[in-house]
Structure formats: C-alpha cells, structure tokens
Amino acid sequence: MSLIEDLLELNLVERQLRGLQSRVGSAETFFNAQNRQMNELLQRKEELQTRRKQRQVAVSGFETDTKAMDERLEKLRNELNTAETTKQYSAFLEEMNTLKQTRGETDELALAEMSEIESIDEDMGTLEEAITERQTVLTRAATELEERKAEIAERVTELQRERDVKAAIIPESPLSTFTQCADDFDGDAMAHIEEIDKKRREYCCSSCNVNLPFNIVVQLLGNIESLTQCENCLRILYVTPELKAETIAK
C-alpha cells in the first residue's frame, strides 16, 4: 500500500482509540473537578478550625485575666475595710474602680470572641453538610471513572496494539507529522479534498473548508508517497477514490 493508504488505516485506528479514551477522559475530568472542589471545602474547614482555636485561646486568656482581676478585687475589698488612713482608702478605692473598668472591657472582648466562635460553628455546620454532599458526588464520580476504565480496557489494549503495528510500517518523518496532527486535532489528523465545482476545478479542505488550488489535487494524484498538509488547518490531505476516479476520467 501507499504511504497515504497506510496513514489512512492508522488514522482510522487512532480515531477509534481516542474516541474510547475520550469516554474515560470526560469521566476523569468530572472526577477531578469534584476532587478539586472537595479539597477546597476541606481547606476551608481547616481554616475555620484554625480560626476557632485562635478565638478559643483568646477567650481562655480573657478568662484567666478575669479570674486574676476578681481575686485582686476581693483582696482590695478586704484591704479597703482595714484601711488605716484616708490616703490608703482612696488608693484602694481607685485601684478597685480601675480594675472594675478593665474587667468590664475584658468581658466585652471575651463576649465578642465567643460570638465569633458561635458564627464559626454555624459556618462549620453548613460546611460539613456541603462536604457530605460533595463526598457523595465524589464517590459516585470515582466509581463511574473506574467502571469506564474497566469497560474499555480490553478494547483499548487491542487498538493500541493495532496502532503500534500500523505505525511501525510508516517512516519516521511522516509518522511524526501524523502524530503531531493527531495530538493537535484529537485524532482527526487527516482531511480529504472536496470538490466544489467540477467545471471550474475548485476544491477545498473537508475539515476547514478553505479553498485549495488545483495543483494540490494534481500533486496528491501524482505522488502518494509524500505528505501534503492544508495550509490553513495543517491536517494531512488526501484524495478519496471517488474524486480520484472523477479527476482521472476528465
């Protein structure tokens, strides 16, 4: 067979192989999307847990400060009752008033922190529900991905083996060109020439519909052992048997 005929056979296998792989690809894309969203939720959960710990540490610190101030106030009350001079009494009273004010401010700060903890707990509850729902979807996506892989595994192996055999008989340079086109166009590496107008000898690429000069048709008819690519889409061009018969008949 000619180079073009070998490439057409390879192209047929390539399209089948990539078609099967695309079925897995869509399932894999869905799974990856769900997994990414799950990771984002888990990261958000970790951030909330860190914030909660920080708030709890602050509350504990305020409680320790409050306890110390209460103990000092109790001591000052006792000292106030035993003050021997007006100056001592005034000093104890002034310190008590300052402590009471500081204690009130500390209580407000502690309440603000506890309010923030309650808000975080509400967010955590909503987040846990979202994580549970996402885990259900993620599990289903993982199952579907594995099922699709199992469904096509045997056929993919057969096609891959067939592709390797067909690729082995094609020279390195045209095979490299074919592989590049297949990668660029998801397996659709080749395009046939379509006849637009017989009388005017107008032709185009069947893939991108860009007009092709008649000399390309002549070139493909005369030399089927070299590659000609569409100048626009870069797919490998070929002439169908039907068009070849019509052109020669002319």
User: For position 32, what pLDDT does the model report?
Assistant: 96
Structural domain spans, the chain? 3-168, 175-249
Task: Say if strands 190-197 and 236-238 run parallel, antiparallel, or are unpaired.
Answer: parallel
3-state helix, strand, coil in the chain (%, to 5): 75, 5, 15
CATH number of 3-168: 1.10.287.1490
- 52 burial level (CB within 10 Å; 0-12, 13-18, 19+): middle
User: For position 68, what pLDDT does the model report?
Assistant: 95
Phi first, then psi: what are they for 231, rounded to 5°? -70, -20
In DSSP terms, which residues pair with 202 in a beta bridge? 197
Neighbours of 153 (CB within 10 A): 12
User: For position 216, what pLDDT does the model report?
Assistant: 87
pLDDT digit string, tens, across residues 214-235: 888 888 887 667 899 999 999 9
Could you give the strand order of the β-sheet that contains 202-205, starting from the edge strand earlier in sequence? 211-212, 202-205, 190-197, 236-238
pTM: 0.63
Q: What is the mean pLDDT of the chain?
A: 92
pLDDT digit string, tens, across residues 32-75: 999 999 999 999 999 999 999 999 999 999 999 999 999 999 99
Of 10-19, 72-81, 120-129, 217-226, give the lowest mean pLDDT range: 217-226
Tell me the DSSP string of 55-112. HHHHHHHHHHHHHHHHHHHHHHHHHHHT--SHHHHHHHHHHHHHHHHHHHHHHHHHHH
pLDDT higher than 90, residue 244: no
Neighbours of 4 (CB within 10 A): 22
Q: What confidence tier does 250 reach under pLDDT thresholds 50, 70, 90? A: low
Q: What is the mean pLDDT of residues 68-95?
A: 90
Share of the chain above pLDDT 70, in %: 98
Q: What confidence tier does 248 reach under pLDDT thresholds 50, 70, 90? A: low
> CA neighbours within 13 Å on the CB side: how many for 142?
10
Q: What confidence tier does 172 reach under pLDDT thresholds 50, 70, 90? A: very high
Rounded (10°) angle between helices 241-249 and 214-222: 100
Cβ atoms 32, 211 nearer than 8 A: no
pLDDT higher than 80, residue 10: yes
Return the ∠ at Cα 186 (arms to 184 and 191), rounded to 5°: 80
Q: In terms of pLDDT, which residue wins out, 201 or 161?
A: 161
pLDDT higher than 80, residue 12: yes
Q: What confidence tier does 186 reach under pLDDT thresholds 50, 70, 90? A: confident
pLDDT digit string, tens, across residues 195-212: 998 888 899 999 999 999
User: For position 19, what pLDDT does the model report?
Assistant: 87
